[in-house]
Each structure stands twice: as structure tokens, then as C-alpha cells.
């Protein structure tokens, strides 16, 4: 048994894995992009959101989860995703792609607008059940990640850390990254007690993340 704080999530059992597969294999579609709170869709189902600094691989991970390469648009330009993007999972879930933060190339007034929208969304969306905070496994938790974690603490939104691009870091470097991540998470009361390690390119951790989302209850 793993006694470490914030252990890696176990692979799901067959039944749970199948539930996750079915959730993402069904009708998964882009619903709308939202630039203001009054544009949010009805709060009528379970909602999970993905947050992460620019170029952490959010869009690529969403595409890997759904098995649809072009569903979420990936970009090499920081700050390209300027909206809260809603995707439907069957008729039971919303998957929400939040604007990337740490957007060095975006104008200041745009950054401030995104920050205000993000804060309002996290604090005001009653059906939001969990945020998944994506961290690049090569770099670990940065100051901008700490900011979003603090905001989630204040909003009392449980968040689970997902390490992306795990195939790019090996052995001791991976363990060092995990150690730094665990140390950072210990300071956040809203942090979910398991970490999910993923590689969109290799498919590692995708069934585990699907199962985690499918297991969240209303």
C-alpha cells in the first residue's frame, strides 16, 4: 500500500474503466464558448473543468480522452484559448476547458478580463463538482499554478492534479517532479488526495482519468 501523501491513482477496475470508456465514447460535442457569466449553459448536470497554464496540454488531453483529435483546438500560442469552452459528455456531464493562465503574450487588459471571468466561474457555478489542474510533469508546480490552486481553495472547489507529458520525463526526474508536486499540494485544503499521471501521446493514464470523471456523483 502506498503510504505517500497524494499517491498516484490506481488503475480502475474493469467495471469502473468501462463506465469511463462509455462516457467518453458516446455523444461528445463542443457546445459553446463563453466570454461572460450570463452566457453559461443551464446548470442541469455534473460539471468538471480543466485548468492549466498555457501549453500544458489541455486541448491535447481533451482530444485524447474523447478519441477525437480535432474536438478541442490546440495551439502553440500562449493565451490562444480566450473563452470558457463547454463540451457535452452524453446528456449527463459538461466538460469545461478553462482559458490557459500564465499567458505571457496576451495584452494586460485581456489577462485581467480572463482572470475576472475565471474567478466568477469558479465561485459561482454550483454544479461544478471537481476541477482538474494540469501540471507539466517536466516542470512541476509553478507560481501561476499556486495562484489557481489558492483560488480553488477559496471557492471550495475540490481539485485533482493531473500531471501531463509524463512520457517526457523518466526515473529520478519523474520522482523529483512528483515530490515537488506533493509538497505543493500539502498547502491546499481543496486538493483531492490522488494524482493522475498522463501522457496524451502514449495514452498513459487516460482510462484512469476517464474513470475518475465518470465516478463523480451529482
pLDDT of 212 above 80:
yes
Q: Is 189 inside any structural domain?
A: yes
**pLDDT value of position 31:** 94
Arithmetic mean of pLDDT, 183-187: 96
| Percent of the chain residues topping a pLDDT of 70 | 92
10: left (phi over 0), alpha (psi -120 to 50) or beta: beta
Q: Is 7 inside any structural domain?
A: no
Beta bridge partners of 88: 29, 94
* pTM greater than 0.85 (yes/no): yes
Q: Is 2 inside any structural domain?
A: no
CA dist 10 and 184 (Å) reads 21
Residues, the chain, total?
Answer: 218
Structural domain including 58 reads 14-214
106-160 confidence digits (pLDDT tens): 677 777 787 888 889 999 899 999 999 999 999 999 998 998 999 999 999 999 9
CA 207 distance to own-chain centroid: 15
Q: Is 113 inside any structural domain?
A: yes
CA dist 212 and 195 (Å) reads 11
**pLDDT value of position 77:** 47
Q: How many domains does the chain have?
A: 1
Q: Is 29 inside any structural domain?
A: yes
| Percent of the chain residues topping a pLDDT of 90 | 70
Q: Is 6 inside any structural domain?
A: no
**pLDDT value of position 158:** 97
Q: Higher pLDDT residue, 81 or 151?
A: 151
Arithmetic mean of pLDDT, 53-67: 90
Q: Is 3 inside any structural domain?
A: no
Domain containing residue 54: CATH number:
3.40.50.300
Name every residue whose Cβ is closer than 8 Å to that of residue 160 and which is 6 or more positions away in sequence.
Answer: 130, 131, 132, 133, 191, 192, 194, 195, 196, 212
**pLDDT value of position 7:** 96
Q: Is 43 inside any structural domain?
A: yes
Name every residue whose Cβ is closer than 8 Å to that of residue 194 and which is 6 or more positions away in sequence.
Answer: 6, 7, 8, 9, 160
CA dist 181 and 164 (Å) reads 12
40-52 confidence digits (pLDDT tens): 999 999 999 999 9
Amino acid at each position: 500500500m502506498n503510504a505517500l501523501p497524494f499517491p498516484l491513482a490506481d488503475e480502475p477496475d474493469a467495471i469502473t474503466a468501462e463506465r469511463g470508456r462509455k462516457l467518453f465514447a458516446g455523444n461528445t460535442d463542443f457546445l459553446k464558448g463563453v466570454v461572460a457569466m450570463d452566457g453559461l449553459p443551464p446548470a442541469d448536470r455534473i460539471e468538471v473543468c480543466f485548468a492549466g497554464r498555457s501549453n500544458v496540454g489541455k486541448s491535447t488531453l481533451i482530444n485524447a480522452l474523447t478519441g477525437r483529435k480535432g474536438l478541442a483546438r490546440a495551439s502553440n500560442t500562449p493565451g490562444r484559448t480566450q473563452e470558457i469552452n463547454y463540451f457535452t459528455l452524453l446528456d449527463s456531464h459538461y466538460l469545461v476547458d478553462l482559458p490557459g493562465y500564465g499567458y505571457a503574450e496576451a495584452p494586460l487588459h485581456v489577462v485581467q478580463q480572463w482572470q475576472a471571468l475565471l474567478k466568477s466561474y469558479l465561485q459561482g457555478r454550483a454544479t461544478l463538482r471537481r476541477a482538474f489542474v494540469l501540471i507539466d510533469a517536466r516542470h512541476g508546480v509553478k507560481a501561476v499554478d499556486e495562484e489557481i490552486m489558492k483560488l480553488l481553495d477559496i471557492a471550495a472547489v475540490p481539485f485533482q492534479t493531473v500531471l501531463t507529458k509524463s512520457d517526457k520525463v523518466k526515473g529520478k526526474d519523474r520522482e523529483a517532479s512528483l515530490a515537488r508536486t506533493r509538497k505543493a499540494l500539502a498547502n491546499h485544503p481543496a486538493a483531492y488526495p490522488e494524482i493522475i499521471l498522463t501522457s496524451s501521446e502514449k495514452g498513459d493514464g487516460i482510462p484512469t482519468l476517464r474513470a475518475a470523471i465518470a465516478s463523480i456523483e451529482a
